[in-house]
Structure 1
Amino acid sequence: MKKHQGRLAAVGYALAAVILILAEHAVTDKVKAAPHPSAPADTQTVAINAEQAKQVRLADVTQRDFAPHVDAVGYVDFNQDQLAQVSSPYAGRVRDVFAKAGDTVSRGQALFSLDSPDLTQAEASLVSAAAARAQTTAALERARSMAQVQANAPRDLEQAVADQQTAEGNYQAARRALRIFSKSDAQIDRIAATRRVDGELRIDSPVAGQVTSRNVAPGDLVQPGNGPAPFGVGDSNSLWLVANVVEADAPQVHVGEPLFASLPALPGQPIEAQVDYVGSTSDAATHRVTLRAVLHSPPAGLRPQMLANYSIVTGAPTRHDALPADAVVREGSGSMVIFTTSDGLHFTRHPVQLGTPQDGYYPVLSELQPHLRIATEGALFLSNALALQSQ
C-alpha cells in the first residue's frame, strides 16, 4: 500500500513539473509576441521617393537688396498743366472744323470756325468807322483849302477838325474791338479796305500738342461756358502718373522719391519717374491720398486713363536673405515655413519670419543657416505630405 502511494506521489510531482514547464513556455511566448514600443516619429521631416522628387524644384537661398516702399494703385492721365480746353469766347454757329481727335497741332493753328454775330457787328462798326473817317478827312482837307483863301468861317474849320478827330477815334476803337477777336492788323486793314463783312471767327489752339478730344461738328451752336469744350489739346510728350496711397502709408511718401509703375497693358515694361506732388488732403470717399509724377517722353503705347500699379521707394535698400514666393508656405496657423534638404529626398520644415515681398521675393528677417538648399515649386506638396505623416 505504501509503495503504491509513493508511485502516485511521484507521478503527481512529474505532472506538476510538466505543467510548470508548459506555463513558463507560454509566458515566454507571450513576451516574445508582445509588440515593442516604436521610437517617436519625426514631425518636422518628410521623406519622398525618387518619382515624387521630380515634382519638386530646388534652389539655393540667395541675398538681395530690399528697399522700403509703399504700394499703390492709380492710372495714367494727361498733364493737366499742359492740357487746354479750347472753346469760343463768343456765341455762334460752327461753320468749319479743321482738326480731328488724334491730330498733332501747333500753337496758333485753327481748330474750328463759327459765324459770330458779335464779330459781324464789330466788323460792321469798323466799316462804318472807316467810311466816316475817310469822309471827315476829306471834309477837313476842303475846309483847310477854303480857309487859306478865306472862303469859309473859322468855325467851319474848327468843326471839320472836331468831326475828323471823332471819326479817327471811332475808327481806332473799331480796330481794337476786332483785335479782341484775334484779328491781325493785316486782316483788319483788309476789312476796312474792302468794306466786306464776313463774321467768321476762327478759334486757334493756344498750345502745341495732340488733339485729345473733339466735341463739335459743323452746324453746332456754341455757347461760352457750356461743356464739354469743343476741343481738348494736350502735350502728348508729357503725362501724369497718378497714384492713390492709403492714409496709413501717406506720411512715408515725400516729393522727390522714386516711383515705379507697372501697367497691365504694357507687361514687362517698368516705368520710372519721381514724385513731384503729394496731396495735402485725403479723399473722403476712398480715404486715399493722391500723389503724382510727371513722365516726360512716355514709351510707345502708353495712353491716358490706363490703369497702373505703383511702388514708391521710401528709403535706402537693405540686404537680406531672399526666398522665392513659391518656396514659402503659409500654414493654417498663419506660420510661414520653408522646406530645406541636403539630398533632395528628405525635407525638413523650418519656420521663418518674413518681411514684405518685393519683385517676387520675400526678405528673411529671422536667422537662416548659410548655404541652405530649399524647395521652391512643390513646397506646398511637401507641407501636405508632412501633415498626413503626422496624423
Structure 2
Amino acid sequence: MPTQRSRIPIIAVAVLVVASLGYIWFAHRSSSPAAASAIAGAGSITLTDTQAKQVAVTAVGTHTFDTWLDAVGNIDYDQDHLAQVSAPYAGRIASVAAKAGDKVQKGQLLFTIDSPDLLQAESTLLAADGVLTLSRKTLTRTQKMLAIQASAEKDVEQATSDEQTAEANYRAARKTVMLFGKNEADIDRLLATRKVDGALRVLSPFDGIVVARTVAVGDLAQPGNSPSPFTVADLSTVWMDAYMPENDAAALKLHQPMAITLPALPGKTLHGEVSYIGKAVDPNTHTVTVRADVPNPSGELLPQMLANAAVQTATPEHSPAVPEDGVVREGDGTTMVYVTQDGRRFEQRVVKIGKRQHGLDQILSGLQTGEHVAGEGALFLDNMLSQQPDDD
C-alpha cells in the first residue's frame, strides 16, 4: 500500500496533466471563429468591429399608440339636405327652368305646372274678394240709413253678419292660394289684375345642386310620382358611411375620431367623427353602419365614391417604443430585445410588447425611454448567441 509520502508526487502529476489539458482546450477555443465574439456572461455577447457594422443601434423613444378599427364604405348624400321636389298638385308641366348639374338657390324656380286646382283656387279667391267688397259696402250703407232712421237695427245686424262671413271666406280662399306656392305679392297682383293663370310655380327648397331631372314640358305631373321631377342636394356636407364588422361594434361610440381616405383622392386624408351608429346588423354582410358628416366645400367628394375609414376607439397611450426589427420572438412566445451601452456589448432582455403601429412596437415593460437597443440586426445577434458553445 502506498505511503502518505508516496501519494504526493502522484497528485502533483495529476494536477499538472489536468492543467495542461485545460490550457490546450482554451488555446484551441481561442483560435476558433467563435472566439471573435467572446462570451460576456449568459445572455450577452460582444461584437468585433466588423460584426458591429451589421447591427443598427437605436435609442428607445416615446411614441403615441392608439387603437383604430378599419372598415370600407362609400360617400353618400347628406340625407338631411336632399330633397325630392315633386308636384304638390296634378297638372301638365308648362315650363322647366333648370337642368341637371345647375346650382340653384332657395326659392329659385325649378318648373311650372298648369294646375286646374290652382285655377279653381284663384277663381274662388276672386269671387270671395268680390263678395267681401259688396258686403262691406252693404254694411256701410245700412249703418248710414240707420243713423237717419231709414232702416231697422236688425238690418244692420244682418249686414254685419254677412260682412263677417265674407271676410272669413276671403281669408280662407287667400290661404288656399298660398298653399299652391303663391306669395302675398302674387296674390295682390291677382286681385289687382283680376286675371287667373293657373301656373303653379315649384321652387327649390334650399341652396344646392340639381342632381337629377326627370321631366320635360308637356309631361303629366302627379303628387307622389316616382321618380320625382327634380332632386336637389346640398353637397357642402356629405355622409361617409362605413360598414364595420359586427365583432367590432361594441367598441364604437359617438364622436370618436374617424380618418377617411379615398382611392379617388390618393395621398389625402379627411377627418371627421362618428355621428351615427346603426342599431341593427345587416344580415347579409354582418356589418354595422358607422357614419361621419364630412365637410365638402370644394365639391370633390361625390356620392357613391369608394372610401376607407378608420375609427379611433381607444384613448392614445404614450409609451416607450422600439423598431419592430429590434424585437425577437422566441419559439415559446417570449419577446426579447438586445440592450447596449457602447454598441459592442449587447445583453439580451425580456420585454412585454403591446401594439404595433407605423413600424414600431409598444413596450409595456422591460425597457425605459433613453436606453439603447439593437434595431435592424437584432436577429443577427440572436442567431450568434444561439450558436455559441456552452461554457461547460
Task: Provide the TM-score with structure 2 as the length reference.
Answer: 0.65
Say if 2:239 is the partner of 1:240. Answer: yes
Paired position in structure 1 for 2:170: 171
Shift of 1:227: 1.6
Shift of 1:67: 2.2
Shift of 1:230: 2.0
Partner amino acid, structure 2, of 1:217: A
Paired position in structure 2 for 1:113: 112
Paired position in structure 1 for 2:193: 194
Partner amino acid, structure 2, of 1:305: Q
Return the alpha-carbon distance in structure 2 between the equivalents of residues 179 and 259 of structure 1: 46
Paired position in structure 2 for 1:266: 265
* Pairing 1:305-316 to 2, within 5 Å after superposition: 305-316=304-315
Return the alpha-carbon distance in structure 2 between the equivalents of residues 300 and 125 of structure 1: 47
Shift of 1:158: 5.2
Contact 2:60 2:372 in 1 (8 A): no
Shift of 1:184: 1.9
Shift of 1:240: 1.0
Say if 2:91 is the partner of 1:82. Answer: no
Moved more, 203-212 or 303-312: 203-212
Return the alpha-carbon distance in structure 1 between the equivalents of residues 170 and 69 of structure 2: 66
Deviations 1:62-93 (A, max 9, x none): 97644211000001112112222222221121
Return the alpha-carbon distance in structure 1 between the equivalents of residues 98 and 59 of structure 2: 60
Partner amino acid, structure 1, of 2:194: R
Contact 2:354 2:364 in 1 (8 A): yes
How many equivalent pairs are there? Answer: 317
* Pairing 1:49-198 to 2, within 5 Å after superposition: 65-144=64-143, 159-198=158-197
Contact 1:323 1:363 in 2 (8 A): no
Return the alpha-carbon distance in structure 1 between the equivalents of residues 326 and 89 of structure 2: 68
Contact 1:215 1:231 in 2 (8 A): yes
**Against the structure 1 CA distance between its residues 360 and 190, is the aligned structure 2 distance closer, same or farther, given a 3 Å change threshold?**
farther
Return the alpha-carbon distance in structure 2 between the equivalents of residues 65 and 304 of structure 1: 34
Partner amino acid, structure 2, of 1:291: V
Return the alpha-carbon distance in structure 2 between the equivalents of residues 208 and 373 of structure 1: 57
**Against the structure 1 CA distance between its residues 251 and 61, is the aligned structure 2 distance closer, same or farther, given a 3 Å change threshold?**
farther
Secondary structure (helix, strand or coil) at the match of 2:268 reads strand
Shift of 1:208: 2.0
For structure 2, list consecutive stretches of 5 or more residues without a partner in the other structure. Answer: 1-55, 328-332, 334-351, 378-392
Contact 1:210 1:233 in 2 (8 A): yes
**Against the structure 1 CA distance between its residues 127 and 149, is the aligned structure 2 distance closer, same or farther, given a 3 Å change threshold?**
same
Return the alpha-carbon distance in structure 2 between the equivalents of residues 311 and 257 of structure 1: 10
Contact 1:79 1:240 in 2 (8 A): yes
Return the alpha-carbon distance in structure 1 between the equivalents of residues 239 and 361 of structure 2: 31
Return the alpha-carbon distance in structure 2 between the equivalents of residues 185 and 90 of structure 1: 20
Paired position in structure 1 for 2:300: 301
Shift of 1:150: 5.5
Return the alpha-carbon distance in structure 1 between the equivalents of residues 204 and 326 of structure 2: 58
Partner amino acid, structure 2, of 1:77: D
Deviations 1:328-387 (A, max 9, x none): 9xxxxxx9xxxxxxxxxxxxxxxxx99887567787999999654649xxxxxxxxxxxx
Shift of 1:277: 1.6
Secondary structure (helix, strand or coil) at the match of 2:247 reads coil
Q: Which has the larger radius of gyration?
A: 1
Output the aligned Cα RMSD: 4.5
* Pairing 1:213-292 to 2, within 5 Å after superposition: 213-292=212-291
Identity among equivalent pairs (%): 45
Deviations 1:163-209 (A, max 9, x none): 44433332222112112223222221221222211111111222222
Moved more, 309-318 or 258-267: 309-318
Deviations 1:259-291 (A, max 9, x none): 111100000111111112212221122110011
Contact 2:326 2:373 in 1 (8 A): no
Contact 1:85 1:233 in 2 (8 A): yes
**Against the structure 1 CA distance between its residues 265 and 61, is the aligned structure 2 distance closer, same or farther, given a 3 Å change threshold?**
farther
Paired position in structure 2 for 1:341: none
**Against the structure 1 CA distance between its residues 256 and 165, is the aligned structure 2 distance closer, same or farther, given a 3 Å change threshold?**
closer
Contact 2:93 2:219 in 1 (8 A): yes
